[in-house]
Amino acid sequence: MSLELEEKAMEILQKRGVSATCSRCGSNDWGRDLVEIHTRMFDEKSRTPGNFGYIPTIMMVCHNCGYVVHHILKEIGALG
């Protein structure tokens, strides 16, 4: 994943009014990186764990308190 994609995701979040203030401590000092969250999907038919997968996100980390937030890139339209 690229810096270009990271910039695009940040632009989308800003346009949508996502706050730059940490909801845990009030700081505005964030770090960010593009990361994949690895998951295991749940098979609703058999009610058992299904296939493994991953979700591309932009992760924000508060440098003051360590609070972590993920925004799913597909959900905000950054991948399309």
Distance CA 76, CA 73 (A): 5
Per-residue contact flags (x/-) with Zn ion for residues 60 to 79, judged by CB under 5 A: --x-xx-x------------
What is the CA angle 15-39-48, rounded to 5?
130
DSSP annotation of 21 reads S
Per-residue contact flags (x/-) with Zn ion for residues 1 to 40, judged by CB under 5 A: ---------------------x-xx-x-------------
Closer Cβ to Zn ion, 8 or 32, answer by number? 32
Distance CA 34, CA 79 (A): 12
Minimum CB separation from Zn ion for residue 3, in Å? 24
